[in-house]
Chain A
Amino acid sequence: MLKAWILDFAYFLNTSKKYQTFKTFFYNILENEKYKYKKYLDLFMMALIFTSVAVLIREVKYPVNDYLRFFSNYVISIIFLIEYLLRLWVNSSVTKIIIARAEHDTFLFRDVNLQKAFRNVAKVKLSYILSPQAIIDLLAIMPFFHELRLLRIFIIFRVFKIFRYAKSFQILFSVLATKKFEFLTLGIFASIIIFISSVLIYVMEANRNDSPINTLFEAFYWSIVTISTVGYGDITPTSNEGRFVAIIVIGTGVAVLAFTTSLFVSAFTEKLDEIIEAKTIENISKLKKVYLICGYERVASEVAKKLFLKEYSIIVLDADIQKVNQAKQDGFTALNYDPGIVASYKKLDIDITKQVKAILCLNENDVENVYTTLTIRSLHKEVFILSLLMNDSNRKKLEFAGIDKLVYPQELIGLITKELVGKPVAFEVIHELRSEDSEVSIDELGITQRIVDNFPTIGSLVNKEYRVVLLGVYKTDKDRFYFNPLDSTLLEVGDYLLVIGYHVFIKEFEKYLYTKVKNA
């Protein structure tokens, strides 16, 4: 009966949308680095930690306000306790473990063994409880029992909690962890030296009346101070034998220190690129309106500069490290990832649907552009892909690969020369309109409901007053451009006005359209 009830409840919780949303929220805010509100909780917890440490320091010599002490001992401890319990809860799913066991046993036509399920639950939860971070969390709650004076010192464990919230510490530990074996070897070597030198100095000095070393602890203390090259000088050997031991320990200390320093340096040097890459990927996940440029050559460099000026985010992927470095020098976010392999996009950790406006395959090589396009299409069917076409015979292959728009520079030269020799002035005018550097430009103004309410027809627009030429209107639903439309043409939501004029006047006209008060 109880077993059935537990199983039903586990299935209920596992399928309950409310419960799962609730749990996901707490998981995100406590553990998910990418969750945008997590940083606020981290900052709040860090503020609590520093408050309680400040109270502890103040308490040493001065009286502390009762409310503040209450806040430090009880309120902060309760908050930490809640946090500890929440972390224990979201760390693993009890219901999933129970359901997995139930399904396993049912599949094998056995009675559901809930004992085994609970054993698994205990194992998983215990492994979390015994993890270093969870132990620190638990110790940080201890000052709650402030009547036990000794436990007050556990406040200092709250400082260790900062490691949880400050990412740089985590990076530091991860970097040093790569040299675990070297540090362990060095630690063992230093420990042996300390042990031997402590024993030796004790043997040499303990029976001498003029020697300050009388106990094994003093000998150990002297060894640590000497091997670390600190050398306080409060305890010094007086016998020649003792001084000889000191010489050995000092020599070894210098070697240990130099080796430790070199370990730190080499660990960071080896991991530096990875750290920068991880940071870059973290920043990329926060970007919006991204243009992903695959291949950084001459055209790519110019396109990136133009889009960057329009305040779009640019990410460059190239398998050639020199090109990546060039992109970085040009001020763009660039990664040495091969755009032709799926793993690159997975590592990039970017939501193509939400974050990417378009992917530009700008390698000046059709084979690579086909390869890149097929890779992207295997991951995402909808994203807009534009590509350079270097050889017209490859046009069909690129189209077949799934490119939405092809740009063939040689064809452009042919078209441009035709127009240039036929209508040089007109060509220059259009060229000026397209150019970013020109004062006069062509712009697209989207029609909103508000504009339709205020300006129902083309005739009601007052573009002439703003020195703006209305070239025509583009009707999105009909996918058709109406040049120089009649005054009676109705405007509809989703239409675009194509206007030509000075930037400043177009901006004024746009502002007027969007902000005109109804019936004003």
Chain B
Amino acid sequence: MINQRSFFFNVDWISIMLFISLIAIGWFSIYAAVYNENAMYMIDFGTNSGKQLLFIMVAIIIGVVILLLDSKFFYVLSPVFYGVTILLLVAVLLVGRNVGGNQAWIPIGSFRLQPSEFAKWATSLLLARYISSLTGKLNDFSNVLPAAAILFFPMFLIMLQPDTGSALVFVALIFVLYREGLSPYFLFAGFMMVVLFIGTLLFTKIIIIAAISIVTACIIYYAYKKNKRIVATTIATFILSLVFILSVDFVYNNVLQAHQKTRIDLLLGLINDPRGAGYNVNQSKIAIGSGGLLGRGYLQGTQTKFNFVPEQSTDFIFCTIGEEWGFAGTATVISLYLFLILRLIHIAERQRSSFSRIYGYAVACIIFCHFFINIGMTVGLVPVIGIPLPFISYGGSSLISFTVLLFILLKLDANRMGII
């Protein structure tokens, strides 16, 4: 307790180093993506890489400011942040600018604000505050309902934009609820839903229903004598699965939009159209795949340099890394992310206050969700969902929002001995 007042005291330097490595890799990748052999200055504020440099500086300043604030600040003001975010999300639907089919931006001067980015940490904060204030079990219906409301309200507003990608990120917060006591059945149910959805699209319904019937029958046969509860749960699951399977067609045809269906069909190999709808993913795979073990060398990537890959400084930034640095580069980046996420979970677990712990898990889950969907999309494991790669993709709103997300946790962590 010698130097407690220094604001860097107790800050988790490992996380900060990981953060700095990722934004550095990000900046160099953006530079490579927009690189043009003729007439190119290292720093040119007209290009994406130049602008990103500005965003990085702003992000770092904001990070330092957050470290300087009182940690109680976030706990106390979390309803305010949440309220403001909801207002912004409503406002964006009314006055926002439509870019690429999404009403997601509020223009402020020459910059554009993306409220859905801020919704992530505002929601996380309020969720953490609500759950930490609970006295009973989270599993109780009366407790889950407000938590679900906090989670789904901004998600619903974002869906209206419609920005399915950003909305999907909120689903990842289910891990937070699980950690805090939500029944594992929900995780299992989510998993089952994904499996059944894909299964129903790939095979006929009869086969799927037959398969789950057999599995259900087996479980009942073995568990009948020992555990009546498992039998009941299994039968309930079976019935729910049947309902779900029968509703897949309806959801697929009436709820999803045409381009989303196409993306899912492309992913599952139901359609093959490398020059049309599948162009993006196909070119992205070509770019990454051509990198080989060690890559073509920095600034030597032909696919990204000659614009074969679309959106290459934002959503498909991973292609530049894959092509120019090869498997060595991609494995390094993926390891950095995994390390950061595990570190954040470690940080969350060492908190004394449940508010900080819950918030820590929320941060880890959100970053992980972005990381998995974005990279999975570029290598064709996940349907195309346009969400950025944290700290690496070009874009001010996303970089600043991830920085805020991370640094609030680091501030809370630095103060973990104090009492909120």
Query: Do A and B actually bind?
Result: no
